Chain A
Amino acid sequence: MEKKLKVAALCNGTVIDQIPTDKLFKVVSILHLDKCKNQITVGNNLESTKIGTKGIIKISDRIFEEAETNKIALVVPQARINIIRNFEVIEKRSLTLPKEIKEIVQCANPNCITNNQPVATLFFVNHNNNETLLKCNYCERETKQDKIKIK
């Protein structure tokens, strides 16, 4: 019996694969795909040998820069990025947390100016032993990566 792809193959563009199903729409939001005019295929709750069920996003005719895809490292660090040309994978990319994170994260401090006035958030990523900490540029509070709130 012929094996059929559940999501159509991509001629040129970027595939974001191995997305945990509950994070799929966060990725859409962080990369502003809701405003992207390219053809986009979104699949969710697909079978995955690695993580059970997964989400996948295929964006046609757009090659994302590494700095752009790294924005989602905070939410889906295990996701894989494949760059496609003429139906061939020409680059496989894993995600690296950037040194600075703009706008994506909400400060956990309710008294921070970013939660009270129209000020975009900015966090610096620090590593302490095995922990990743995000330090708010404004109120200077540090939050552990697993406690952060995505906007």
Chain B
Amino acid sequence: MCKNSLVSISDYSKQEILEILDSAADFETNPNRKTLDGKVIATLFFEPSTRTRLSFETAVIRLGGSIIGFSDASTSSSSKGETLNDTIHMVGSYADAIVMRHPLDGAARYASEISPVPIINAGDGSNQHPSQTLLDLYSIFKTQGTLENLTICLVGDLKYGRTVHSLIMAMSHFKPTFKFIAPDELKMPDEYKMFCHKHNIQFTEETELEGNFDDADILYMTRVQRERFQDMMEYERVKNIYTLTNSMLNTTKQNLRILHPLPRVSEIDADVDSNPKAYYFKQAQNGLYIRQAIVSKVLNC
């Protein structure tokens, strides 16, 4: 087992999170270095991805490393029935670190237990996506100047959305107040509400979007993820439940910034894109610097 792996945001202490944010800020000032010269990083994407895969690969290339891997599981031996155990043992003998996205919950933890090289979890089913969480924290810090005592409104798919679950866990270090806005079918699972109680985090729950985020510092929108539903009727009922429009932002705080892990479908109207409070494209750009910081940390480079 490799101890340097990043599987879950809970693997990092508050101090380590802050160090990663510092490191990302440093990479933002100068993203092109040769610190990974001679290193080979494998990107194993058993599930589709655009931003996460491209930003990890860009991060490695800008640091002078090389990339091997696949972005479509149908082109790998898993389509022939190869177990994850065998794939990880084989790739671990070629690469210095493995970035992996997998559709099964817990795949990354298992891979980290058997891999001879560090595993970076780029999303395991509906469980964890720690690099997204770290780039969310970096975006929040950059836009608010602090991570402490912020009011964060989480909207949309709070049941299956791994980004919101991980964000709650990461923000627990910084005394946040949460507002959960979701339809009953997609409300925040009890275990995360219990987590909030345990960490003395204040939260409220709403089902309506309009008028419920005027006191927020961060409005975190999420997509209703079709691929997580086992009941397609349920998906059809909730898929277009919220759409954020420009006019809804008139009475919000000046410092409010809108985040979204992307891709979006219909939950943010295109007319919001030009509003200075829209931050989601810049947020995606921040992913590059955070992933440079993560790869450098797991490889001690």
The interface of chain A, by Cβ under 8 A from chain B, is 109, 111-114, 116-119, 128, 136-142
B8 at the interface (CB under 8 A from A): yes
**Interface pair B109/A137, CB less than 8 Å apart:** yes
Residues of B within 8 A of A141 (CB): 105, 191
Residues of A within 8 A of B124 (CB): 139
**Interface pair A112/B106, CB less than 8 Å apart:** yes
B85 at the interface (CB under 8 A from A): yes
| Chain B 178-200 per-residue mask, 1 if CB under 8 angstroms from chain A, else 0 | 00000000000001001000100
20 more A-B residue pairs beyond the given contacts A114-B106, A117-B110, with a C-beta to C-beta distance below 8 A: A111-B104, A112-B104, A112-B106, A113-B106, A113-B107, A113-B110, A116-B104, A117-B104, A119-B85, A119-B106, A119-B110, A136-B106, A138-B106, A138-B109, A138-B110, A139-B124, A140-B8, A140-B127, A140-B128, A141-B105
Shortest distance from the beta carbon of B115 to any chain A beta carbon, whole Å: 14
**Interface pair B191/A117, CB less than 8 Å apart:** no
Smallest CB gap from A128: residue in B: B194
The interface of chain B, by Cβ under 8 A from chain A, is 8, 83-85, 103-107, 109-110, 124-128, 191, 194, 198
Shortest distance from the beta carbon of B9 to any chain A beta carbon, whole Å: 11
The residue in B104, B105, B107, B198 that gathers the most chain A C-beta atoms within 10 A of its C-beta is B105
Smallest CB gap from B126: residue in A: A111
Shortest distance from the beta carbon of B7 to any chain A beta carbon, whole Å: 10
Interface majority SS (helix, strand, loop, mixed), chain A: loop
**Interface pair A113/B84, CB less than 8 Å apart:** yes
What would be 9 A-B contacts, judged by CB atoms less than 8 Å apart? Answer: A111-B103, A111-B126, A113-B107, A116-B104, A118-B85, A119-B106, A128-B198, A137-B109, A138-B106
Contact of A117 among B85, B125, B128, B194 (CB under 8 A): B85
Shortest distance from the beta carbon of B196 to any chain A beta carbon, whole Å: 13
A141 CA / B162 CA spacing, docked (Å): 12
Smallest CB gap from B230: residue in A: A110
Contact of B84 among A117, A128, A139, A140 (CB under 8 A): A117
Shortest distance from the beta carbon of A10 to any chain B beta carbon, whole Å: 41
A111 CA / B104 CA spacing, docked (Å): 6
